[in-house]
Amino acid sequence: MQAEASQKLEKLTAFYRPVNRWALKVLARNLIVFKKTWATSIAFNVIEPLLYLAALGVGLGMLVEDIEGMSYTQFVAPGIVATSAMWASAAECSYDSFVRMHYQKIYHAIVATPINLEEVVVGELLYGTFKSLLSGTVIIAVVSILGLVPSFWALLVPVVLILNGLVFSQIAMIWTGLVPKIDNFAYFFTLIITPMFLFSEVFFPLDVLPRILQQLAWALPLYHVVVLLRSLTIGMVSIDLVYHLLWLVLFIMIIFPLPQVLMHRRLIK
């Protein structure tokens, strides 16, 4: 009995073992490619969110009264940071990973070296996470220059961006392990990412929604990211934030085996 249990535990922990130096080599490969295109990559990462902020904050904000003591621009800014970071990770580990895996056969090339497929997957997730961290940090920097980030708690934002990156890289990578064709990512963005974007308290406080929808929002990872980012940027920090943090950490840990399992099933016959 005990031997069986320890065997099961062994199997489970095996999914976390690819977080190792081999996975870092895959991350390193992606960073070398990133170095070639970072300028355009960052520019697009920043321009779009700032357009949103301008339209919503300056435009829509004129019609909206202050929310919980914040101007509408201030309310919406952390949400914009969270969503752009989410998009950055999700796009990286869906379209871009799919191209590397399916068209360029880079995964195949790497698994012929000492690195195994599970480590390739983890390396890709780390790169997706890097994208979230980078994109979110750049935007929050710009937003604070605009004077929208009054609190020093905001220095903890990168931690939240890393969790955000791990969440959405994994969700996207699960999809990459499943879809037969690159076109199928349209469903992923329409059915998963866009609702996340609209109903995670990015644009309006959830208490305007019926109670049942408010509770459903708890199931959306982006909601927790938005709450954390908003609280940190305006400095309204309480012990409640730990729940949101824990929610994200648990979510990351629980789905962690999935991208590896699916990619293995897809490529290794």
Partner 1 sequence: MQSVVEAQNLQKYYNGFPAVAGIDFSINGGQCFGILGPNGAGKTTLVAMIYCFHPVSCGKLIVLGRDVTEDPRAIKTRLGVVPQENNLDLELTVLENLIVYAGYYGISRSEAERRAKELLYFFGLSAKANQEVEQISGGMKRRLTIARGLIHTPEILILDEPTTGLDPQSRRLIWEHLRRLKKRGLTLILTTHYLEEASQLCDQLIIMNQGVILEEGKPVDLIKKQVGAKVVEVGLDSAKIEDFLYTVRDVVGGYQVAGRTVYLYVPHDDESEVLALINTFDYVEVYQVRPSNLEDVFLKLTGRGLIYGEDIEHASGSFAEIGKADGIL
Chain residues binding partner 1 by CB under 8 A are: 25, 28-29, 32-33, 36, 104-106, 108-116, 268-269
| Size of the chain, expressed as the number of residues it contains | 269
Q: Which is nearer to partner 1, 212 or 268 (CB)?
A: 268
Q: Which is nearer to partner 1, 116 or 184 (CB)?
A: 116
Give the nearest distance from C-beta 261 to partner 1 in angstroms: 15
Give the nearest distance from C-beta 215 to partner 1 in angstroms: 44
Dist CA 120 CA 127 (whole Å): 11
Give the nearest distance from C-beta 166 to partner 1 in angstroms: 23
Residue carrying structure tokens 């934002």 = 157
Give the nearest distance from C-beta 110 to partner 1 in angstroms: 6
Dist CA 200 CA 71 (whole Å): 19
Give the nearest distance from C-beta 31 to partner 1 in angstroms: 10
Q: Which is nearer to partner 1, 211 or 269 (CB)?
A: 269
Six-digit token string for 194: 């866009």
Dist CA 191 CA 83 (whole Å): 15
Q: Which is nearer to partner 1, 176 or 200 (CB)?
A: 176
Hey, is 238 helix, strand or coil?
A: coil
Q: Which is nearer to partner 1, 9 or 109 (CB)?
A: 109
Q: Which is nearer to partner 1, 34 or 204 (CB)?
A: 34
Q: Which is nearer to partner 1, 36 or 211 (CB)?
A: 36
Dist CA 199 CA 49 (whole Å): 17
Q: Which is nearer to partner 1, 32 or 212 (CB)?
A: 32
Question: How many whole angstroms from its chain centre is CA 185?
Answer: 16
Residue 194: closest CA among 98, 91, 99, 124: 91
Give the nearest distance from C-beta 36 to partner 1 in angstroms: 8
Residue 182: closest CA among 172, 191, 169: 172
Give the nearest distance from C-beta 162 to partner 1 in angstroms: 24
Give the nearest distance from C-beta 127 to partner 1 in angstroms: 13
Residue 236: closest CA among 58, 74, 52: 74
Quick one: the chain helix, strand, coil %, rounded to 5? 80, 0, 20
Q: 40: Cβ–Cβ under 8 A, 6 or more apart, which residues? A: none
Dist CA 18 CA 119 (whole Å): 5
